[in-house]
Structure 1
């Protein structure tokens, strides 16, 4: 929403040299850095400004490198601060922009009207309301409230994260409303789901630019109104990568994953180059469909797009995609090859290994995390507990469950508790599992009681199974699997009267057992063979992976 400013007083002065124009990739940046180190790194301020500018703004995906360079500068000036904050705000990790602004203030460097719009942009992307209001207060203190660029940034922030009333106040109070002002308020209403008002503002705009079109297309796409988004997309006089990303992400959100891939092919045909956001959406689509072949093609496209270095977010998406598509070996290979990892990297591979039956390797990686003193979060612990459950490591699982709160300050949620019930149930410790459920600080949900019922069927405990089923039926009555589990448990023990009563109860309540089916694939389409039905029924690929049934 914050446009590039052509009258940037603080940057024009530092862009007369052609140094930054020669920085086309990370290797050239490092070569220039090396030459500066030889001559005295902090001695040439103009060259340092250009190196920071190139790393943070010009070369794609090198903001991390730019921040490392910036940290070595003895006394960065305001231009350097503004440059790295701007680069961070535009990156996939905008929280670093807020952190940099705080560091800037702590060093008593006075911000200007170029600083505040990009910090507010970062706050908006992060939905960081408290920080945004704090920045608003600083804007008033330093007297930038009437500045056109700052005012537009305030409208955009408050429209999206703060108060629409405040955004409207600044909009109505604008002596001159440019296209940015209109788009900022329109984006606020669209993001809050007020699409009728947003469309009214869009239609009333005296002039519409590409950002205006993108605002409305994105608004419709995020609300799942993908057909309305497509109509505007087709009407737009021009498109950029943001326009295409909105449509691709909108299709993924609506479960139209095949259409998302088709949009990508259309995007490539018209010559629009995808970016990281594009590829994240497409990898998510491949993961949802379980389409390994399409996922591998995206990986290949990524390698060409990013010249070999993908970055943490994309590599995490690859791990998730490969794991969900059943190729845990490729997921693990991506993890092992990563230059940098965050907590999501560890979570994806630990969980992926656990769910694919590689419990020992999953637990080993968690131990490696502990050795490296990487603090797990609640998602990590779900993967670890699943691994312990599948590996039959009850005592170790108990220890990790207790460790969550005692060592890491993580309060167990229903998923953690469900994992512990499953672990005890698999090991045949049914009474212990029931006692644990009774002692839980949070109310057990239907999944926990279903887990216990399933364990009772495996181990033939009719009495406890009946109790678990009663708890289930008090929460829900329409799940055929709940009845079938108990009926099978009675049949397993030879208690046919009990099995018949359960079946009759299903009939009395109008619950029907879903027909079982198997899946196969031919000519790119999924075929579902229903039990007792020899005729295959053709369905879309997405339905083959559990998105829907015929």
Structure 2
């Protein structure tokens, strides 16, 4: 009873120790229960601290903070800011925008901090139009000259808004802020204007660790590998972020061996790698097929796991191991890692199904069947892997069945990649007429990859008529691919129709398409190309 009568001043004095001990979700809920029992939920100061603590804990606690926010009868701007700050930094920053809308709806006026959080969320999400709308609100509320808000505006416009507006905001007062320099440099680099970014970097009065890392990352994103390496060598205070930028940059730019070499330099320099480092290195091993280095990395990851329990439950690192072993052809080890995982997610199943599809199609299909028995709900990526496996093992009937199952049981609408896999499967089996009818019946617009797959099958089986159809469709999409002309020419040649070869040659010459100088035209590894296409985030554009 005495506690209930404690005044706000006493509560304020005791608060720091209480919230300092709130380091996990369970403790947070215990404190919340105690507040309810002692009638403290009407004290805005204490409620504000409860929400603030929740917003800083695990993702589950942030969701808890949102629930508390919805239940508070009377809001103030500080409470709103606490929730928005944690949300803007979370994996789901889009909730920040709806929190701002709720704040306005309930009559709470924003302050300068509010706009830094919503603009950060817009920048992270690359929500251009929302960001412009909030810029207007900043002007309306008179915060445009506040240094924190101005920095947030520069970050947004440089990242995804308008570089011209960002440049105008980057005035004398902004140039006194290191974060503004980094935002502008990063913005130019992200848009591919690497020389403007380098000019700004050279003019930067004080280059901190963040600035160096931003510039090195920006150069690598623009494929300026030599410039990035030069900056990397000049920088004397490298941290793990710097090393990771170079390693992942080399992998993404197609230099996996150099990535592994940088890792050796990293170890020699005494810098300890983290999980991000391991992900990039495993990707490099997968590209190279370097299973021996991959095994050593696996051992290193197990050492990391022995001192950090969080790695055991972090699925991406184990998924990367599965992917690496599968791509290196070590199917048993890929399955062993899969079986040893404590927390599998859908991505884990998809990684193994995809990894087995090319080298062990039967195993891929069995994993899908096991997935179904365990009631793990597949997604569109799962079915791409399964149909690909059917294609490579000649299981046409099963492929047709899975394509129907995807639509009828799981309500997944096929996308262009599913259609591409089906055409590949039918084409490999020599069912060109069925492949042709399948393409004709597609409910979505044709893609170049689908038509090229059909054209390749026509070449294998010498079907001139369907080859002409596929080629016409391809040329209606784009006329600058020399390989499409060569494929059709080869179809004519394989059946001895030399007049057709001459016609295709004339079409090729008339369009003035040029083959790459100094390179012999050879047939690409279709399996590799198809896999790269299927694993890309977006379908091939016309």
TM-score between the two structures when normalised by the length of structure 2: 0.70
- Are 2:411 and 1:416 aligned? no
Equivalent position of 1:106 in the other structure? 102
Superposition deviation, residue 163 in structure 1? 0.2
Alignment partner, residue 349 of structure 1: 352
Secondary structure at the aligned position of 1:172 is classed as coil
Checking the alignment, whether the CA contact within 8 Å between 1:449 and 1:472 is kept in structure 2 is no
More deviation, 352-361/228-237: 352-361
Q: How far apart are the structure 1 equivalents of 2:54 and 2:211?
A: 29
Of the three residues 70, 80, 105, the one matched with 2:65 is: 70
Report the equivalent of 1:537.
Answer: none
- Residues 385-444 of structure 1, C-alpha deviations (whole Å, 9 max, x = no match): 22343465545544554676787463531x333322233345553322233334445446
Structure-2 separation of matches of 1:175 and 1:34: 42
Give 1:368-379 correspondences, 5 Å limit: 371=375, 376-377=379-380, 379=381
Q: Does 1:281 align with 2:280?
A: yes
Instruction: State the alpha-carbon separation in 2 of the partners of residues 429 and 289 from structure 1.
Output: 35
Aligned residues: 479
CA shift in 2, pair 1:363/1:372, >3 Å: closer
CA contact (8 A) 1:462 1:489 kept: no
Measure how far apart 1:248 and its partner are: 1.4
Determine the C-alpha separation between the residues in 1 that align with 2:29 and 2:258: 47
**C-alpha displacement of 1:189:** 1.2
Q: CA deviation at 1:86?
A: 4.5
* Aligned equivalent of 1:361, options 362, 366, 370: 366
Any residues of structure 2 matched to 1:268-307 within 5 Å, and which?
Answer: 268-303=267-302, 304=304, 306-307=308-309
- Identify the residue that residue 152 of structure 1 maps to in structure 2: 151
SS state at 2:273 partner? coil
Q: Tell me which residue corresponds to 1:124.
A: 123
Shift of residue 149, structure 1, vs aligned partner: 1.4
Aligned partners of 1:141, 1:439: CA distance in 2, in Å?
54
Quick one: distance in 1 between partners of 2:64 and 2:320? Answer: 28
Contact 2:471 2:488 survives alignment (8 Å):
no
Determine if contact 1:167/1:185 at 8 Å carries over to the other structure: yes
Q: Give how far 1:281 is off.
A: 2.2
Give a deviation string over 1:121-174, Cα, whole Å, max 9, x none: 343233232333344344344443222112111101101111001101111273
- State whether residues 66 and 83 of structure 2, in contact with CA within 8 Å, keep that contact through their aligned partners in structure 1: no
Alpha-carbon displacement from aligned partner over 1:194-240 (angstroms, at most 9, x marks no partner): 12222222222222222222222222121111221122122224222
User: Which ranges of structure 1 fall in alignment gaps of 5 or more residues?
Assistant: 1-11, 24-28, 491-496, 518-550
**Counterpart for residue 187 of structure 2:** 188
In structure 2, relative to structure 1, the CA distance for the partners of 1:456 and 1:248 (3 Å cut) is: closer
Structure 1 distance, partners of 2:179, 2:265, is 29
* Change over 3 Å in CA distance of 1:346–1:267 after alignment to 2: same
Contact 2:22 2:28 in 1 (8 A): no
Correspondent of 2:327 among 324, 327, 332? 324
Shift in alpha-carbon separation, 1:138–1:207, aligned structure 2, 3 A: same
Contact 1:89-1:97 at 8 Å conserved across structures: yes
Looking at structure 1, the residues matched to 314 and 425 of structure 2 have their Cα atoms a distance apart, in angstroms, of: 36
1:149-228 → structure 2 map (5 Å cutoff):
149-172=148-171, 174=173, 177-228=176-227
Residues in 1 aligned to 2:372 and 2:185: alpha-carbon distance in whole angstroms:
50
Q: Which residue of 1 aligns with 2:263?
A: 264
- 1:382 aligns with 384
Distance in 2 (alpha carbons) for counterparts of 1:421 and 1:175: 56
* Residues 245 and 278 in structure 1, CA contact (< 8 A), matched pair in contact too: yes
Q: Please name the residue that 2:312 is paired with.
A: 309
Give 1:31-110 correspondences, 5 Å limit: 32-33=27-28, 36=31, 63-67=58-62, 70=65, 73=68, 75=72, 82=81, 85-86=84-85, 89-90=88-89, 93=91, 96-103=92-99, 105-106=101-102, 108=106
**Bigger proportion of residues as helix:** 2
User: Counterparts of 1:142 and 1:55 in 2: how far apart (Å)?
Assistant: 29
CA separation of 1:219/1:466 partners in 2, compared to 1, >3 Å: closer, same or farther? closer
What's the counterpart of residue 9 of structure 1?
none
CA contact 2:318–2:337 (8 Å) conserved in 1: yes
2: CA distance between counterparts of 1:241 and 1:41? 44
The Cα of 1:13 is off from its aligned counterpart by 9.8
Correspondence for 2:529: none
- The range that moved more, 196-205 or 432-441, is 432-441
**Equivalent residue, structure 1, for 2:250:** 251
Q: 1:13 & 1:206 partners in 2: Cα distance?
A: 43
TM value normalised by structure 1: 0.70
- Measure the CA separation in 2 of the matches of 1:489 and 1:365: 44
Say what the alpha-carbon RMSD is for the aligned residues. 4.7
